[in-house]
Amino acid sequence: MTDLTRRDLLTGAATIVGGAVLAGLPAVADGQAKPAVPPRPTVPPDPTKVTGGPTTAVGSRSGFEHPARTPAGETTGFSLTPLQDLTGTITPSDLHFERHHAGIPAIDPEQHHLVVHGLVERPMVFGLEDLKRLPAVTRVHYLECSGNGRSSYREPKPDMTPQKVYGLTANTEWTGLTVAQLFREVGVKPEAKWFLAEGGDACVMTRSVPVDKGWEDALVVWAQNGEPLRPEQGYPLRLLLPGFEGNMSVKWLRRLELGTAPWMTRWETSKYTDPLPDGTARQFSFAMDATSIITAPAAPGMLSGKGWWPITGLAWTGRGKITRVEVSTDGGRSWHDADLQGPVLDHAHTRFSSMWEWNGKEAVLLSRATDQTGYVQPARAKLLEVRGKGTDFHFNHIKGWRIQPDGKIFYHGET
């Protein structure tokens, strides 16, 4: 790590951090659909009679399993986590959702640096190896794009799957160091109330963050699920703000600047503000609200017959822990508590489940989450009343699935 003078910052640091971004963007066609499922592999009728395959340098999924994201867009694009194909709470790194505003930069980790300056006693430049010499932590937290659920809120359609309804979220084991540790290294001054996080992609993503969040639980991470960050998740370094809008967990992190007020960048004025029916707009609505979704039974699945079926799904909140998830099998006329699978962690996905005996008649399955603040996930009608149809972020309305007598399942968005 290197002490940074003001002269260094003005004349050299920009070259240091700017040189870390190399050419190279992913070639993804606009509106690209989920990859076609290959034909089922041929296997021996009795695998105990045939020698198996060799060991490999990198493992792969069975040829019978094909979970995949749904990429769309090129330099400005996204891909959705296949929630209906996953179990437990941890999202595999290669299925973690994506959201980019200027493509995925190719960055040499040996050339990448993190500058920390502004209202600090000791402005410094950290290389990746410098950061790894500081005390590390490993924590499980979810990320969620603040636009998650927009399409199912504005125009719910029967053919939507959990992936299409709510796939801009994922839950990961992250490894890095606390922002509080960095603050102590540089000596943050008492008058500093905000910090600016800047990314090393072509749009130079910048977001203002309260200093209190940095001291509380923010992380700078370099690994996910036991391996280095994937490029689309910010390799080699990203900010992680548990419970806050995903856009604020700036990827390809290259600079933190301490100051007295928010910077009012384009990403928190023209973007990531929330218009309301009265002509005003919400700004700096950082924390994501408590929400949930049933991932099975769900489209495009099907119930093969009457009898007992497990209802399972995910719940999460940006305000601590999920304390309760209720499930309804009659469209919301009655509710009962689902079981929460532990451990229930702060700012992390929680798996819930409940057994249900289907009688073969039409049914509507709903879930409703409550967090430790007492906040209860609202119905879509209530959210429309308060926020209007034109609201652009924070779509945590109740979502459901309509089971037909023939067992077919369709999305039910009118809650």
The domains located in the chain, with CATH, are 2-18+104-281 (3.90.420.10), 291-412 (2.60.40.650)
Predicted confidence at residue 52, as pLDDT, reads 93
Burial (Cβ within 10 Å: 0-12, 13-18, ≥19) of residue 114:
buried
Burial (Cβ within 10 Å: 0-12, 13-18, ≥19) of residue 332:
middle
CA distance 61 to 409: 27
Supply 3's token pair.
């002490």
Strand 113-118 and strand 253-259: the pairing is parallel
pLDDT over 50 (residue 125): yes
Cβ–Cβ under 8 Å, residues 246 and 266: no
Cα dihedral across residues 414, 395, 328, 363: positive or negative: positive
User: What single string gives the DSSP state of each residue in 218-277?
Assistant: -EEEEEETTEEPPGGGTTT-EEE-TTB-GGGS-SSEEEEEEESS----GGGTTSS-EE-T
Predicted confidence at residue 74, as pLDDT, reads 78
Q: Give the H or E element holding residue 128.
A: helix 128-132
Block residue for tokens 């289907």: 358
Cis peptide leading into 67, omega within 30 of 0? no
CA distance 406 to 305: 8
- pLDDT category at 109 given cuts 50, 70, 90 is very high
206-250 confidence digits (pLDDT tens): 999 999 999 999 999 999 999 999 999 999 999 999 999 999 999
290-333 confidence digits (pLDDT tens): 999 999 999 999 999 999 999 999 999 999 999 999 999 999 99
Predicted confidence at residue 132, as pLDDT, reads 98
Residue 358 bridge partners (DSSP): 307
Please name which of 213, 295, 290 lies closest in space to residue 250, comparing C-alpha atoms: 213
CA distance 195 to 211: 6
Residue 399 one-letter amino acid: K
Q: Provide, rounded to the nearest whole percent, the portion of the chain with pLDDT above 90.
A: 84
Cβ–Cβ under 8 Å, residues 371 and 348: no
Q: Average model confidence (pLDDT) for the chain?
A: 92
Strand 307-316 and strand 350-358: the pairing is antiparallel
Predicted confidence at residue 11, as pLDDT, reads 46
CA distance 94 to 66: 12
Predicted confidence at residue 271, as pLDDT, reads 84
146 or 275, higher pLDDT? 146
CA distance 174 to 179: 14
φ/ψ of residue 292, rounded to 5: -160, 165
DSSP label at residue 55 = P
390 or 120, higher pLDDT? 120
pLDDT over 60 (residue 14): no
- pLDDT category at 4 given cuts 50, 70, 90 is low
Residue 327 bridge partners (DSSP): 336, 367
In this predicted structure, which of 2-16, 53-67, 156-170 has the lowest mean pLDDT?
2-16
In this predicted structure, which of 34-38, 206-210, 236-240, 372-376 has the lowest mean pLDDT?
34-38
CA distance 367 to 377: 9
Reported pTM: 0.91
Predicted confidence at residue 5, as pLDDT, reads 59
Supply 120's token pair.
């600090």
Cβ–Cβ under 8 Å, residues 403 and 363: yes
Residue 223 bridge partners (DSSP): 175, 228
In this predicted structure, which of 60-74, 226-240, 332-346 has the lowest mean pLDDT?
60-74
Predicted confidence at residue 2, as pLDDT, reads 67
Predicted confidence at residue 415, as pLDDT, reads 86
How many C-beta atoms lie closer than 10 Å to residue 238's C-beta? Answer: 23
- pLDDT category at 73 given cuts 50, 70, 90 is confident
Cβ–Cβ under 8 Å, residues 249 and 199: no
